[in-house]
Amino acid sequence: MSADATRAGLDAALDRRFGDAGGLAEAAPADGVPGLAALARHRVIRGYAPREVPGALLRLVCAAALSSPTKSDLQQRDLVLVTDPATRARLVELCGGDHWMPSAPAWIVACGNHRRQRQLHEWRGHPFANDHLDAFFNASVDAAIALAWAVAAAEAAGLGCCPVSQVRNHPAEVAALLGLPGHVFAVAGLTIGWPANEGTLSSRLPLAATLHHDRFDDADARAHVDAYDGRRHALQPYRRQRDVARFGEVEPYVWSEEKARHYAEPQRTGFGAHVRAIGFSLD
């Protein structure tokens, strides 16, 4: 593929994604275009071919993911690679059992790990003076960054993947299944395998709504969301409406309505209790 074609592909992906990012590809150095285009074309894959992924390739993806930045070199994140069929089946069950999940030949579960840091203090005989919310937050962010890099690594290898936040639906059960000790917690899962479909390049809120310069500014937030609702509905209409019995049916059923309904019900209310139970202070 020529440099111009790749640049055109990058521009097309950004325009499809944001609606107001046309022309940005011109700013990309020629040798950076392929990598930027791969990121811009990212698609979630929910459906995998019945083909195993070699163990060495999975380890390579994990190694690339664990090459990600980490706060102060503390390395407070671990990955659990789940390939055992029985363990995967139970993990699928705990995550709600969506119809596409069983097709994934492997899962990666990104975990925040503050156990190792506390062990260092014990082994070196130094006091631990940071038993507060930031300890939990740092480990969570480290795990999230590693998860993002796992997505990029998987796609670079020709694999498809989908993040799964539902590992936090039943955190104690997931911890028991994966053998997670105190101060180690699952942040998100990642199904991974050879894609059985092309997935969808999901549109995002415009850069005007989410990219701020020097100072945060959401003065036009409602206008941006209204415009995005229309654009996304034209590109990706929802196949069904959430909780019709409670909220009824509306037309058009747009992103803002879907997300408002999404969080109109309590979710994962026990996660804080679990985090405290495994030793974290959230003060």
pLDDT per residue as tens digits for the range 127-148 = 999 999 999 999 999 999 999 9
pLDDT at 220 over 70: yes
pLDDT at 181 over 70: yes
Q: Are 26 and 36 in contact (CB under 8 A)?
A: no
Residue range 213-217: average pLDDT?
98
The confidence score (pLDDT) of residue 80 equals 98
pLDDT at 9 over 60: yes
Task: Quick: pLDDT tens for 223-270.
Answer: 999 999 999 999 999 999 999 999 999 999 999 999 999 999 999 999
Measuring CA to CA, which residue among 79, 64, 61 is closest to residue 144?
Answer: 79
The confidence score (pLDDT) of residue 239 equals 95
Split at pLDDT 50, 70, 90, the class of 273 is: very high
Give me the residue label for tokens 């979710």.
267
The confidence score (pLDDT) of residue 190 equals 98
pTM as predicted: 0.95
The confidence score (pLDDT) of residue 22 equals 84
Helices 33-40/133-156 angle, 10° precision? 110
pLDDT at 1 over 80: no
The confidence score (pLDDT) of residue 163 equals 98
Q: Are 53 and 105 in contact (CB under 8 A)?
A: yes
Residue 212 corresponds to which tokens in the numbers above? Answer: 């701020």
The order of strands in the sheet holding 106-113 is: 77-82, 106-113, 184-193, 160-164
Split at pLDDT 50, 70, 90, the class of 189 is: very high
The confidence score (pLDDT) of residue 6 equals 83
Task: Quick: pLDDT tens for 73-98.
Answer: 999 999 999 999 999 999 999 999 99
pLDDT at 122 over 90: yes
Residue range 9-27: average pLDDT?
94
pLDDT at 4 over 80: no
Give the integer Cα–Cα distance in Å for 280 and 283.
9
Contacts of 12 (CB under 8 A, 6+ apart): none
Structural domains in the chain, sorted by start:
3-40 (no CATH), 55-199 (3.40.109.10)
pLDDT at 5 over 80: no
Task: Quick: pLDDT tens for 160-171.
Answer: 999 999 999 999
CA angle 15, 17, 22 (to 5 degrees): 20
